[in-house]
Structure formats: structure tokens, C-alpha cells
Amino acid sequence: MMNLSLKNNMVVMLIFSAVVLTAPLWLDPIGANYPDLLQKFAIFGIFAIGYNILFGLTGYLSFGHATFLGVGSYTAVWSFKLFTMNVVPAIIFAIIIAGVFALAIGYISLRRSGIYFSILTLAFAQMSYSLAYSVLTPITNGETGLQLTIQDPRYLDAMAGVAVKEGLPSTNLFGQLMSGYSGFYFCAVMLIIGFYISLKIFRSPYGLKLIAIKSNQNRMNYTGFNTRPYLLSAFVISGMYAGLAGALMAVTDPLAGAERMQWTASGEVVLMTILGGVGTLVGPLLGVGIIKYFENIFSALNESALHEVFNFLPQALENTVVAVTHHFVGEGWHLTLGALFMLVVIFLPGGVMEGVTNLIEFIKKKLGMSGDESGDTL
Amino acid sequence: MSKKDNSQNNSRRDFLKASAATGAVASSPMFFMKNAYAAENFRNAPKGGSVKLGFNVPQTGAYADEGADELRAYKLAVEHLNGGGDGGMMNTMKPMSLKGNGVLGKKVEYVTGDTQTKSDAARASAKRMIEKDGALMISGGSSSGVAIAVQGLCQEMGVIFMAGLTHSNDTTGKDKRRYGFRHFFNAKMSGSALGPVLKKEMGSDRRAYHLTADYTWGWTQEESIKETTEGLGWKTHKTVKTPVGAGDFSQYITPILNSGADTLILNHYGKDMINSLTQAVQFGLRDKMVNGKQFEIIVPLYSRLMAQGAGENLKGILGTTNWNWALKDAGSQAFVKSFGAKYGFPPSMAAHTCYVQTLLYANACEMAGTFYPPEVIKALEGFNFDGMGNGKTEYRAEDHQCFKNVLVVRGNQNPTSQFDLLEIVQEVPRSQVEYDASIFGGDLGPYKV
């Protein structure tokens, strides 16, 4: 008999895949159904899921994960420039190189824990950013960002005899173009695979050890358990997720800029994870959804759009409402996001997921169901 | 929010039938055929009675002042295109095909985006405007890095990009694109225009120290100004790159004090330039005598918005601008009048170039008789026009760069109003700033994408 509860990985994956792949349908009513934003949801979803493996399980707060995102992007674009426009090699290279960077940075940073670890990762991230921004300009093209050119060699494509068109070539997966909706579906499949791996890790003895490190690392050490390899492997895995996310950013839009590595980008993934729910499986994805939605949709609302939204109100009231609310949209979207973040952190320390869990509990209680199998959080 | 209007297919079919029926009487049946073909095949072909333009400007960050002024100009341009207001430059532009009833009879609407002066954010907001809002043309700028990134995106997407304020040589040099057009002048032209004035005022024996914003615009401006000054016989003492949006430049300015250089060239723009210049003056650079010469500061790219920010410190400092509201020609005056009537103060050069670009795009659509981008591009390439504030101007077909007169200006010693901050030293004729299109390399790419 199959156990049809959320404890069954198959059930979780089926629900998750269905929700992700139908995103264009259910995001349409809120104006978020266009390829660029859908791609961003999926890509930052991967980034946050990976980050959550480190932060959510081991409790190590890294402030430098954008480094791996940037490294992934640069690697992918160089793969497009040097080898082929096919995305598969680009993604593989990006994951490997990001993993190597994570190994080096993690090896040094993980000698400390707590705030010192955070500061070390932040320092490495700022170093990488400065390198990419100015010192390594020949490799990264500085502030302008690394772009494709018609003169790029693309040795593999040239060997395979891919016809050179006038104009820039496009990224493709064995001929399928990676822009627009096909790009989203590709990212979505990657997100589903990434989510599955994360699910396996969360529900494995390995994941349990990571949680044990979070709860009391000293006790782990006293029992004769060497925690370092576990921490380092979690760091590298989350770095590789970030590398994958960076590669996908380059796949859907072949350009890599240094600002992707700035500390604000690292801070953003921390925000996403905390907003959604640290250490929960789907929490970080909710955080991604909220922040990216604000950044792209709220920031574009202006007064005339607000007048449209509120035109059911009487004229005088409509004007007042618009006059007040327009400070919170458009350029003011950071204000709204900040207020939301404060509310969540104060009233729902476990993130939006805590709210969702509470709501489910509440409904169950109302319906008179017993809450005995709510052990495993999603 | 983004419902597709399917009934449009029918009306297009009706239109085809109608044009086939009138084909016998129409003097040029090919004209309709071309449009009918084009209408099927390009991104964001206007449906219904309106056409949407996307204005992508920095609303936050070091260039936010310029961005705000650009947006004002865009709104004014849209108003004028739709026949509102006093028409501004629509009254002075020649040749002009616009009728004041929108573009090709369609009402002009617009959407806006915030570039945050970051390539990623700018591309994301441009993509939103193209993919979600259906913008047919993207315009904007205020940072060359952003302009180049968005221009590349627009080429891929087959949407025309009318660059706003971008001064780097690369925009129409090594990174030029078939779908990108720039009305603004560039660093190379600034250098050519400044050269003779510098020689006259400062002689041919100076040691220059460059502080340069560390991105494409700063690099190319440093290169162009260096080329000019070294041509005059000046020595380049040192060039130092500073990060964009640094805020505090004292660590870069202190070393200049005893470096032995007698001229500081600030390749900065926006708030960066306001900060670096203010600090340079506070550090007493302008009161120094070095090598028996008065220490001088040069700001190769100037704008009135920056002059407002820098205040007193700017008096007497030389630079170049694309346009200034004090120009006396009919086009400039018409624009200043309608801008002033709407907003209560004169426009900046960023506003001017954005306004002109919007009109030029709309006019090219009218000339081409279609919104189909390859035809619009062909209409813009090599287009000669006048009455837009810079005298006779040409959109050079080889690199999509406008060629026109350049202004050498100086911070006004005795301003008569809070806006009268720049005094025009010389209007350098177009012939002096022209250069060969091939010197920067680059490739425009195809018409059809």
C-alpha cells in the first residue's frame, strides 16, 4: 500500500512538480506570467533551496553565496564564448567551478563558526566582487558585464559545423532555444531536480547529522564525531546549487555582470530564506516568490495603475487611497518589503511557512481532525 | 492584466481584404503588401488603437537625478506626439512626418522601469516591458554600461532601443547594434571639441591626473581625453579608477596634492562628479600653484543637474555638453518653453536627448509607414534633420551615431538665476568632431532577428 501522506517523497515530488510546471497558469491573474519573471522565480528558487541546505540545516549563516552565483554565470558565459551555445556543457562547467570555489572558500571560512564565519564569507564575497569588477576586467569585462560577441571562437560549434548566422547566436538545448517559455520550463525542470536532491538530503541520515551540528556542535565533537567534513560538504553542495542558478541566469540571458556578486545579492538570498522559513523545504521558495514579485511587479506600479486598481471607490476616497499607497509602490517597493519583513520576523519567526503551518493546524482543529501526523515539516 | 485581444486577427484579415480590394486603385500596392507581411512577423506589433513605448531610466542610485529628468521629458514627448500641449519641437523639427495624432494614427502610451544603474536590473525591467507590457521600443539610459547591456538585449529581442544619456564611445563603437541608436554625443567628440579650447586657455605644457569612473564610459572618456591632451603636448601623470557611487573620494584626492600634477581631469558623472569635485575644491586643489601654473580642474562631461549639485565649486571649470537650455535656436527655445510650462524649470541635456529620441523614433515610424523594426531602422539610418536644438544633425548609417555641434561650456562665474549655471564658451562645429566610423570596430548585426 502506498502511503499517501507528505512523508512519501513521491507524493511530495508529484505535487511540487505539478505546482511548478503549471506556474504560468496560476501566476497569470496576478500579472506575473511572463517568461523573464517565471525564469527568475525558478532560478532564485534553486539558489535559495541550495542556500537553505547550508543555513537551514547547519545554521551556518553565509553572507557570501552570491560569489558562487557570479562564478556560475561567468563560467557559463565563457563556455558559450569558447565552446558551444549548447547549455549542457555550460551548466556542468558552472557547477564544477562553483564547487571548486566553494571548496576553497569553505575550507578557510569553516575554521570559524557563528559571526566570524559570516564575516569571513562576506569578506571573500567582497573580494570576489572587487576582483570581478575591476582587477579581472579582461576576464569579466568589469561593470559592463561579460557579453557574447559575433567573433567568439565557439570551437565545439565550429567543429560540429553549426552554421554561423548573421547576428548573435542564441543559447540552446540541442536546438531548442532557451529564451522565453522554453527557458522557463528548462529552469523549472532544474528546480524540480534540485528540490528532489534537497528533499533527499533533508530526509537522510546525512541531513540529520547536519541538523545535529546546528543544535549542538560541541556535543557532536565530544562523541568523537568529526563535524568538519559534513559542514564542508554542505557548504560545497549549496555553492554548487548557487553555481547552477548562476549558470541558468546566463542560459536565459547570456550576460554576466559583477553586481550579481555584490553583498546585497548575498543578503537577498538570506532575506528570501528567512522570509519564507529557514530550514523548511518550501519556505525559501515562498520567500523567492514574494521578493521577486515585489521587485518586478510592485516596483513598476505607478499612480495611474493605482487609480485603475482603486477605481471602484468614490472619487475623493480613491484619490486619498492612491495618495497614501503610491509611496509604497514604484520606487517605494523597498519600503513595503521592509515592512513586510519586519512583520514576518516579529510575528512569525519561522517565516511565512510558520504561518502556513499554523493555518493548517487551525483548520484541522476546526474540522476536528487529530494533529498526530504533523511531525514532518515541509 | 495581460489579456490578449484575439479579435485583432480578424481585423487584420479584414484589413488585408480591404487593401486587396483597394489594391487596384492604390498607387503603390507593394506598400500594403510589405506592411501586411511585416505585421505578422514582429514582436509586440501594436494591436488596437495604441502603441506602447518603454522608458527605462535610473530612478535610484548615483544617476537618479538624470533619470527623473529623462522621465519628465518622455512624458512631455508622449503628450506632444498625441497632440497635447503646445507641441514643443514638433513645431520646429524638419523634415517631419508626424501629424500630432499619435504615431501612424495610434495613440502613444508608455510604461516605465527602474534600471537602478545596474545591468541586470535594467535588463530585467526592459524584459518586463517587452514581454509583459508589450513595449515596441525601449528608450533610456544614464549609464553607458546599462545602455550597452540593454541595447544588446533589444537586438536579441528585435525591439528598437533609442539610447538616452550615454557618452561612452563603445555604445556606437565596439558594442554598436543594428537595433540601437544614439542621439547623444560621445567621449571622442568631447575630446575633439575640448582640445583647442584647452590649448588656448591652459597652454601645451601640463601634467594631467585622471580620476576615472570604473566602467565603460569612464574608460573610453579617459582614453579619448588622454588622446586629445597628449596631442596638445600634455603629459599624463597618472590615471586612477574609482568605483561608481563611491560617495567619498578623499582617499583618491589626497595623493594628487603633492603628486606634481597641475591639472585634474574628473571622468565622473552624476552624484559621483558632484562629490569628487566638491571634495577636490575643499582639499584646496584649485588654490594651489604647481610647476608655476595655477592648478586647474576639467570635467569633460558636464550637465546642468550636476552644476546645480556642485554649486559654487563649479565656477570657471571647463567641460562639454550635448545641449544647454540657454541655446537660442527655435527648436531649443520651443522645447524649453513647453518643458518649463509643464514642470516649472528648464530641462537638462539628458531630458533633451530623450525627448528628441522619442520624436525621432515616432517620426521614423511615420516615414517608414509601418512599425516593423527593420523598416524603421532603415528610415533612421542616414536621416538628416534640423530644428532639434543642435543645428543640422545626421544619424550616421554606419554606426547609428548622431553627428552635430558640440558645446564647450564653463561654470558660470556670475549666474543670473539658479539654473543659469553654464556659460557657453564655444559651439564647436560638427566638422571638427567627426571621425571615421571604422576606428572603434564592432559590428551592427542583422536587420532581421
pLDDT digits over A5-45, tens only?
777 889 999 999 999 999 999 998 888 889 999 999 999 99
Tell me the residues of chain A between 149 and 168 that have a Cβ less than 8 Å away from chain B. 150, 165-168
Kindly list the residues of chain B whose beta carbon comes within 8 Å of any beta carbon in chain A. Answer: 1-2, 59-60, 111-114, 118-121, 123-125, 127-128, 131-132, 144-145, 148-149, 152-153, 155-156, 170, 175, 178, 214-216, 241, 243-244, 443, 445-446, 449
Confidence of residue A369 (pLDDT cuts 50, 70, 90): low
Burial label for B190, CB within 10 Å (0-12, 13-18, 19+), is buried
Q: What is the pLDDT of residues B428-440, one digit of tens each?
A: 999 999 999 889 8
Q: Which residues contact A264 (CB under 8 A, 6 or more apart)?
A: none
Q: What is the pLDDT of residue B8?
A: 46
Q: Is there a contact between B329 and B312 (Cβ–Cβ < 8 Å)?
A: no
Q: Are A281 and A202 in contact (CB under 8 A)?
A: yes
Residues B258 and B305 in one domain: yes
Question: Is pLDDT of A196 > 90?
Answer: yes
> Which three three-digit cell numbers place residue A63?
553572507
Nearest residue on chain B to A253, alpha-carbon basis: B153
Nearest Cα of chain A lies from the Cα of B156 at a distance, in angstroms, of 7
Q: What is the largest CA-CA distance in chain A?
A: 72
Q: Which amino acid is at A283?
A: G
CA angle A103, A109, A110 (to 5 degrees): 85
Percent of chain A exceeding pLDDT 70 equals: 96
Same domain as B173, residue B90: yes
Same domain membership, residue B180 and residue B55:
yes
Contact between chains at B132 and A34 (C-beta distance less than 8 A): yes
Of A74, A60, A117, the closest CA to residue A234 belongs to: A60
A161-165, B137-141, B160-164, B185-189: which range is least confident on average? A161-165
Domain at B65, CATH number: 3.40.50.2300
Cell numbers of B129, please?
A: 516591458
- H or E element in which residue B114 lies: strand B107-114
pLDDT at B302: 84
Please tell me the predicted confidence (pLDDT) of residue B30: 41
pLDDT tens for B249-298 read: 999 999 998 888 999 999 998 888 999 999 999 998 888 888 888 899 99
Identity of the residue in A29, A134, A331 whose CB atom sits nearest the CB atom of B59: A331
Contact B340, B56 (CB under 8 A): no
A145 to chain B, any CB pair closer than 8 A? The answer is yes
Beta-carbon contacts below 8 Å between A and B: 104
Q: Are B333 and B314 in a shared domain?
A: no
* Domain boundaries, position B211: 188-321
Q: Are residues B237 and B386 in the same domain?
A: no
Say what the pLDDT of residue B33 is. Answer: 41
pLDDT per position as a tens digit, B338-369:
999 999 999 999 999 999 999 999 999 999 99
Q: Of B290, B305, B321, which marks where a domain is finished?
A: B321
Confidence of residue B3 (pLDDT cuts 50, 70, 90): very low
The Cα B198–Cα B296 span in angstroms is 11
Q: Is A260 at the interface with chain B, CB within 8 A?
A: yes
Instruction: Look at phi and psi of residue B263 and say left if phi exceeds 0, alpha if psi is from -120 to 50, else beta.
Output: beta
What is the SS3 assignment for B443? coil
Assigned domain for B415 exists: no
In a domain, B82, yes or no: yes
Are the beta carbons of A194 and A122 closer than 8 angstroms?
Answer: no
Decide if B149 and A257 are in contact by the 8 Å CB cutoff: yes
Q: Are residues B180 and B192 in the same domain?
A: no
Within 8 A of A167 by CB-CB distance, chain B residues are 155, 178, 445-446, 449
Q: How far is A70 from chain B (nearest CA, A)?
A: 12
What is the pLDDT, as a whole number, of residue B31?
40
Residues 6+ apart with CB under 8 A from A18: none
Residues B166 and B129 in one domain: yes
Report the distance separating Cα B227 and Cα A361, nearest Å. 72
Mean pLDDT (whole number) for B211-215: 88
CB contact under 8 A, A134 and B214: yes
Asked if B156's CB is within 8 angstroms of A179's CB, the reply is yes
Scan residues 191-250 of A and list those with Cβ closer than 8 Å to B. none
- pLDDT one-digit tens code per residue, B319-340: 999 999 988 899 999 999 999 9
Nearest CA in chain B to A144: B145
What pLDDT score does B145 carry? 85
Q: Kindly list the residues from chain A whose CB atom is less than 8 angstroms away from the CB atom of residue B138.
A: none
Q: What is residue A73's predicted lDDT score, i.e. its pLDDT?
A: 95
Give kind and range of the element (H or E) at residue B238: strand B235-242
| pLDDT interval class at A119 (50, 70, 90) | very high
How many angstroms separate the CA atoms of A239 and A247, rounded? 12
* Residue B445 placed within a domain: no
Compute the distance between CA of residue B63 and CA of residue A180 in angstroms, rounded to an integer.
31
Give domain status of residue B448, yes or no: no
Q: Is residue B247 in a domain? A: yes
Q: How many other C-beta atoms lie within 10 A of the C-beta of residue A289? A: 22
**Residue from A242, A257, A239, A236 nearest A77 by CA:** A257
B308 and B393, same domain (yes or no): no
pLDDT beyond 70 at B148: yes
Q: Is residue B202 part of a domain?
A: yes
CA A76/CA A97 separation, integer angstroms: 10
Assess if residue B433 is contained within a domain.
no
Neighbour order of strands in the sheet with B402-403:
B384-385, B393-395, B402-403
In angstroms, the separation between the Cα of residue B442 and the nearest Cα of chain A is: 9
pTM score: 0.84
Task: Tell me if B444 is assigned to some domain.
Answer: no
Which residues on chain A are in Cβ contact (under 8 Å) with B132?
31, 34, 36-37
Query: Distance between CA B390 and CA B381 in Å, rounded?
Result: 18
Using one digit for the tens of pLDDT, what is the confidence trace for A216-260? Answer: 999 989 998 899 999 999 999 999 999 999 999 999 988 888 888
Name all domains of chain A by residue range, CATH numbers in brackets. Answer: 32-277 (1.10.3470)
- A167 to B449: CB separation less than 8 angstroms, yes or no: yes
What pLDDT, on a 0 to 100 scale, did the predictor assign at position B100? Answer: 87
Please give the mean pLDDT across all residues of chain A: 88
pLDDT at B22 over 60: no
Which among A257, A300, A331 has CB closest to B120?
A: A257
**What does the alpha-carbon distance between residue A221 and residue A223 come to, in Å, rounded to a whole number?**
5
Same domain, B113 and B227: no
Secondary element (H or E) of residue B32: helix B29-40
| Measured distance CA(A52)–CA(A67) in Å, rounded | 16
Q: What is the pLDDT of residue B136?
A: 94
pLDDT for B27: 40
Q: What is the mean pLDDT of residues B36-65?
A: 80
Kindly state whether A142 is in contact with chain B, defined as any CB-CB distance less than 8 angstroms.
yes
Biggest CA pair distance of chain B: 83
Number of compact structural domains in chain B: 3
Q: Which one-letter DSSP state was computed for residue B230?
A: H
